[in-house]
Amino acid sequence: MFFFILRRLGQSLLVMAIVSAVSFSLFNFVGDPVNNMVGQDATREQRIEIRQQLGLDDPILSQYTRFLGNMVQGDFGLSYRIKRPVDDLILERLPATLELVFVSAVIALVVGITLGIYTGIRRGTWASRAILSVSLIGVSLPTFIIGIALIYLFAVHLRWLPSSGRSGTIDFGWWKTSLLTVDGWRAIILPAITLSLFQLTLILRLVRAEMLEVIQTDFIKFARARGLSERAVNFRHALRNTLVPVITIIGLNTGGLIAFSVITETVFQWPGTGLMFIQAVDFVDVPIMAAYLVFVALLFVVINLVVDILYFIVDPRIRLGG
Amino acid sequence: MTDLLQITGLDVEFPTRRGTISAAQNVHLTVKPGEVVGLVGESGAGKSTIGNAIIGLLESPGRVSAGSILFEGDDLCLKDETAMRAIRGNRIGMIFQDPQTSLNPLMTVGAQLVETIEKTEAARGKAAEARAIELLEQVGITEAKARLRAYPHQFSGGMRQRVVIALALAGDPDLIIADEPTTALDVSIQAQILDLIKRLCRERDLGVIIVTHDIGVIANVADRVVVMYRGEVVETGDVAQILGSPRHEYTQSLIAAVPRADCKLERFSSVDYIEGGTKPFKRIDVQTHWLGKAQSHARGETAIEADHLNLSFVLQKAVLPRNRKMIKAVDDVSFKVTQGQTFGLVGESGSGKSTVARIITGLYPPDAGVVRVLGQDVSSNPKSSEARKARRAVQMIFQDPYSSLNARMKVMDIVAEPIRFYRLTSSEGETRKIVGDLLDHVGLGAQVATRYPHEFSGGQRQRISIARALASRPRILICDEPTSALDVSVQATILNLLKDLQQELGLTMLFISHDLPVIRQMCDQIAVMRNGQLCEVAEAEALFNAPKHDYSRHLLDLMPRMDLLESASE
Amino acid sequence: MQNTDKPMTRWQRFKDNDIVWSFFHSPGAVIAATIATVVILACIFAPLIAPFDPFDPAQISLWDGKLPPAWVDGGQPQYLLGTDNQGRDMLSTILYGGRLSILVGLAAVCLGMVLGVTLGVVSGYVGGVTDAVIMRIADVQLTIPGILLAILINGIGRVVLPLDMRDEFAVYVVVLAIGLTDWPQFARVTRGATLVEANKEYVQAARIIGLPGWLIMLRHILPNTLRPVLVIATIGLALAIIAEATLSFLGQGIPPTTPSLGTLIRVGNEYLFSGLWWITFFPAIALVVLVFAVNLLGDWMRDALNPKLR
């Protein structure tokens, strides 16, 4: 167990090193950092001074080491556009994104797995077929169209829910939450559904496919031949074996939730990190782009570490060795 | 005694889009308590279908279309799913072929047993657990109590099959259906499992149906035998009669095709009741034909020399070499094969015999040691042109006829590949003619060249493989279990073909098999392998008559007893 | 299956093929294929079918801007689906936009597929360090979700290009961005299939014959790994069309001067609150129908190509 986790940790560090190298090269190859700091009309002397201040004339390797050192401390420098420390900006907006992703993930997992099991077990019933057809429409709907449709229906047409923004937040100083007030929930519900729908259908279809796969195996046939009840066969034998591959994919897809939060946040003007990233790309605000890249990779790596540990708990073949 | 199970006039059919396929027609079969009935037949005979029909688990869209299955007087065909579920496990138990896949990998053996016991018996909790321990002990698992907490992957194949049997017994059934229960196991474990089944049958007065393709298994355990061919029962009788004096033509040719362990025959007696039929062997005048060119018929020199071969595989990776877990697949193996002879390599699975074959063909480089082919060192510098040239004289026939041909290529292109690659002919027209000749020669006929592999049966595919090997004009043929995936009657024709080719072309053969009777029929010299090492190398007859090494003796003892069969053919 | 069968003609064999059979016997697949074909053909032949040319300033007049569909009060019969804010005919613009979306999707998937399949086969067959390097790169890339990476590549691409070339090359930059984010999927699946195939005995037979590695990969392994690749390519096409639309919607993709479906929806979205629903609605419907048809096709293909489910 210990070595298994240690090896995974090593791989994660490697991934982070490469991602940080990519985001470091963003600074160097996308635009001229000096131009971005001082503007077009600075004198030659000013530029040279800034170059020296930033250490841009040092060897690339020592620049990278310095970048890594700063990164580990969460220091990504100043935003070119807003001229504030990037880590402050991200921390400020992090709660909004994480709450959105969390609520969406819960919706996607609970509904997706339930419906997946149902359609896997009750194959051929009309309810299953209906769910499957609808789910195919679900994977075909781009996130931004779902968002627009929900806004039009619930905000413009019915006027039940707000169309954009985050409200009803309670500030704990280090975390602003919108999950404790009715207003907060009214604001988060549309974006959360928008974000979860694609993942939900994906999970649904995956659980069903895995279920069908497992049901074909010999041990299910043998369980039936022993006269075990359908319930025991479906839940004790089939479902648990389905979970192993499903956990992996869910791990990967949580990364997808973070990615698509960029789109959802744009559609709903949700004040999270995704919206900030899009604005940063528009203005080529490299420090924010680089920091966001590292931040997403970090989240992804952490999620996958959790998935590996889950694997360990579910599958005795990994836990106990061959 | 009354019959436990009585099947009369059973028809099973599978409706498909190309019409209804009849899997069993008018099948009659009875089982008495305390009796082992062997249901024997080759692939496609419908024997497994009968087992599935009894327990009501026919694969979709199969259905029983006529007849009855009386189990202690009740017709199982008339029962609904709920009633059948009460019978499964409680009254009728089932054992499947592959113990690797029969058990749920995520549940402990104990949990699976307890779950079955709680469903089928009144016992709960502690009582159920005590019963589980008792069952495991009955099927010969030691330290049963501790092993309840173990997961299936922590058991060996044979032990797992014992667990499967314990699970089948959990509901104290009256009838057990065992579908090829030993096919996936090694010979030595096969014997133990068969003994166990037979003992349980006697002790508990169980009725047992053993579904198998293996006449050896039948000879060992069955009291009565039902022979099936293409969905029909062709003969029923007791084991001595069926094996000793079979009446039906099919049974006769089936039994004639079983390789004899007691003496070496020139050829297998001609089998006329088989699928595809053997086309008359089209003779090629080797002196003048393309196939015979560049052949040396000199005998007496060494064709293959394995000189202290070693090869280890990494079982578990680690950064530090000392932490790696290695397995010695081939451990200091040396032997010489004389030109024109057949050298047999025999051993159980995992003994390293196939690895040796792959080292000789150059698929794996050895860690240490040298392979010489026709005197040329091919392993020290495998990329050199001399080594490549010498290795071209070595071709291989593989075990699995389904994966040894590229499904996306036509037979013509498969066989012609080496001819085209090495430009062994002067024109494309000549290539096509030679491929046609080769296909004729292996008994398929030139007209099959335009087809794809999936249109052929296992035996026919093996013939294509042989034609492909011949297209390189080899002098050495390595046969890695070439018939172990085939039915016994097809096996006989393939082995005959290999013998004919060898005589005609003066080929040297390295013949690898786990099947001692087959080895005896094919080989001049035999090496016995175990755990990567050679135990004994001897002349074939000497080995069978007076084995020197303990392990050779052990293997010979495990050969299925065929006394019945042997006395009959005198 | 016996030798005695008469060989079938090509067409008979085609009809007898299980996949073709299952296609004509599953209504969903036939409907999907029909819709997909109609939509795709309509888009590809947009210059021939479309009533107007949205790129011809002579055919556009701002006076006709923001007209509702023909059947709504105030609509005009020549503009069946109404007009957008600049007075372009919606139907024509959608057809041209769809054409661009399909082309971008196809080009991106082809790029990702060629790159991924090549690297996947090489990685699986050669193994060792090559395999490790390729797959680690794929792993790292998979850490950054596709759409984010596409936004990033696209953003960088636009910065690197000189200002005056940006609009002109925007389409290629989008294709590159989506194609480059696609390849790890293809590489992983192809590598997996290659590992399975490379262990099969027909590959060993080819090695024993003495064929060189590249020939074995090309002639033996590649054709046998194409089935799963085909399935992912179809689903990938759907995802690529969505990705392009998403990029354009976010204002990161194709500029409004050469509208794709995503750009149209973006523009229309600004007018949604003022009640001009048709500017968003029709392109959105066209996009969803297109993606749905491609997905239905991919779904059917996955079932039909899975021997276990038959």
Q: Where are the domains of chain B?
A: 1-91+173-256, 102-172, 290-313+325-404+456-569
Per 3-state DSSP, chain C is made up of helix, strand and coil in percentages (nearest 5) of: 75, 0, 25
- C199: domain CATH number is 1.10.3720.10
Distance from C-alpha of B129 to C-alpha of B537, rounded to nearest angstrom: 50
Residue C224 lies in a domain: yes
Asked if B154 and A320 come within 8 Å (Cβ–Cβ), the reply is: yes
CB-CB neighbors (< 8 A) of A144 in chain C: 245-246, 249-250, 265
Q: Is the pLDDT of residue B30 over 80?
A: yes
Residue B33 has pLDDT above 60, yes or no: yes
In a domain, C287, yes or no: yes
With CA atoms as reference, the chain C residue closest to B405 would be C202
Write the residue in C2, C202, C210 that is nearest to B392 by C-beta. C210
- State both tokens at B341: 């002879």
Number of domains, chain C: 1
Which of A222, A314, A315, A319 has the highest number of chain B CBs within 10 A, making it the mutation to test binding with B?
A222
List all chains that touch chain B, counting a touch as 3 or more CB pairs closer than 8 Å: A, C
Distances (CA, A) of B361 to A27, B391, B418, C208: 54, 7, 15, 6
A266·C145 Cβ contact <8 A: no
B151 contact A CB<8A: yes
Q: Which of C202, C209, C219 sits opposite B404 (nearest CB)?
A: C202
C38/C22 Cα distance (integer angstroms): 21
Reported as a pLDDT band with limits 50, 70 and 90, residue B294 is low
What is the arithmetic mean of pLDDT over B406-414? 90
> How many other β-carbons are positioned within 10 Å of the β-carbon of residue B413?
15
Number of Cβ pairs < 8 A linking chain A and chain B: 82
Judged by CB atoms closer than 8 Å, whether chains meet at C201 and B394 is answered as: no
Q: Where are the beta strands (DSSP E) in B435-552?
A: 476-480, 508-513, 525-530, 533-539
Q: What are the backbone angles phi and psi of residue B528, rounded to the nearest 5°?
A: -100, 125
Determine contact: B55 vs chain A, CB below 8 A: yes
The domains of chain A, with CATH numbers, are 86-285 (1.10.3720.10)
pLDDT of residue C308: 45
Q: How far is Cα C80 from Cα C63, in angstroms, rounded to an integer? A: 17
**Contact between residue B393 and residue B374 where contact means Cβ atoms under 8 Å apart:** yes
Partners of B60 on chain A (C-beta within 8 Å) are none
Q: What is the DSSP string of A59-82?
A: -HHHHHHHHHHHHHTT---B-TTT
How far from B123 is each of B110, B116, B129, B135, B166, CA to CA, in Å?
14, 10, 9, 13, 16
Domain that holds residue C164: 101-305
B512 touches chain C (CB under 8 A): no
One-letter amino acid identity for A223?
A
pLDDT at A320 over 90: no
Residue A162 confidence (pLDDT): 78
pLDDT for C2 beyond 60: no
> A293–C249: do the CB atoms touch at under 8 Å?
no
| Beta-carbon separation of C206 and B456 below 8 A | no
Nearest CB among B88, B101, B104 relative to A225 is that of B88
Mean pLDDT of C207-219: 90
A183 touches chain C (CB under 8 A): no
C127-139 pLDDT per residue, tens: 888 888 888 888 8
Spatial distance between the Cα atoms of B86 and B523, rounded to a whole number of angstroms:
53
The pLDDT value given to residue B570: 38
pLDDT of residue A32: 65
Q: How many angstroms away from the CA of B114 is the closest CA of chain A?
A: 12
Are the C-beta atoms of residues B101 and A219 closer than 8 Å to each other?
yes
Distance of CA A73 to the CA centre of its chain: 23
Q: What percent of chain B has pLDDT over 70?
A: 91
| pLDDT per position as a tens digit, B495-533 | 988 998 888 888 899 999 988 889 988 999 999 999 889
C180 in any annotated domain: yes
Residue B123 structure tokens? 């016992």
Selection from B566, B490, B565 nearest residue B241 by Cα: B565
User: pLDDT tens-digit profile of B144-186?
Assistant: 888 888 888 888 888 888 899 999 988 889 999 999 888 878 8
d(CA B151, CA B104): 9
- Between residues 187 and 226 of chain A, which touch chain B (CB distance below 8 Å)? 217-219, 221-226
Q: What pLDDT shows up at residue B394?
A: 92
Question: Which residues sit opposite B325 in a β-bridge?
Answer: B316
A198: chain C residues, CB-CB within 8 Å: none
Look at strands B302-316 and B368-373 and give their pairing.
Answer: antiparallel
pLDDT at B249 over 90: no
Q: Output the pTM of the full model.
A: 0.80
Average pLDDT score over chain C: 79
Cβ neighbourhood burial of A258 (10 Å; 0-12, 13-18, 19+): buried
pLDDT tens-place string over residues C240-286: 988 888 888 887 777 777 778 888 888 877 777 777 777 788 888 88
- Asked whether the beta carbons of residue B101 and residue A219 sit closer than 8 angstroms, the reply is yes
pLDDT at B226: 94
Helix ranges restricted to H, B88-124: 99-102, 109-120
Determine whether the interchain pair C159/A31 forms a contact, defined as Cβ–Cβ distance below 8 Å: yes
* Any domain includes C131: yes
> B291: helix, coil or strand?
helix
Q: What is the dihedral of CA B409, B411, B417, B420, to 10 degrees?
A: -120
C57 compared with A202, residue with greater pLDDT: A202
The answer to whether residue C181 is domain-embedded is: yes
CB contact under 8 A, C205 and B17: no
ipTM of the complex as predicted: 0.80
Highest average pLDDT, of A76-90, B264-278, C69-83, C219-233, comes from: C219-233
Question: What six digits make up the tokens of B436?
Answer: 């046609």
Whether C208 and B404 lie within 8 Å, measured CB to CB: no
- Residue B53, chain A, CB below 8 Å: the answer is no
Q: Is residue C292 part of a domain?
A: yes
Chain B residue with minimum CA distance to A241: B106
CATH among 3.50.30.60, 3.40.50.300, 3.30.70.100, 2.60.40.1840 for B1-91+173-256: 3.40.50.300
The pLDDT tens digits of the residues spanning B423-446 come to 888 889 999 999 998 998 888 888
The answer on pLDDT for C9 being more than 70 is no
Q: Do A15 and C160 touch (CB under 8 A)?
A: no
The total number of residues shown for chain B amounts to 570
The pLDDT tens digits of the residues spanning A158-183 come to 878 777 777 777 777 777 777 777 77
pLDDT at A213: 83
Whole-number CA gyration radius for chain B: 26
How many Cβ pairs within 8 Å bridge chains B and C?
A: 69
Residue B398 distance to chain C (closest CA, Å): 7
B394 touches chain C (CB under 8 A): yes
Q: Which of A218-222, B276-280, C220-224 has the lowest mean pLDDT?
A: B276-280
Residues of C in Cβ contact (< 8 Å) with B406: 202, 206, 220, 223-224
Residue C181 C-alpha, separation from nearest chain A C-alpha, in angstroms:
13
What pLDDT, on a 0 to 100 scale, did the predictor assign at position B561? 62
- Give a yes or no: residue C151 inside a domain: yes
Residues 94-113 of C with CB under 8 A from A: none
Q: Is C88 a domain residue?
A: no
Tell me, which fold does domain B290-313+325-404+456-569 have in CATH?
Rossmann fold (3.40.50)
Cβ within 8 Å, pair A262-C265:
no
The reported pLDDT for the residue numbered A47 is: 74
**What pLDDT score does C224 carry?**
87
What is the pLDDT, as a whole number, of residue C3? Answer: 38
- Predicted local distance difference test score (pLDDT) of residue C310: 37
- Residue C120's pLDDT band (boundaries 50, 70, 90)? very high
Q: How far is B500 from chain A (nearest CA, A)?
A: 41
CB atoms within 10 A of CB B248: 17
The chain-wide mean pLDDT, for chain B, equals 85
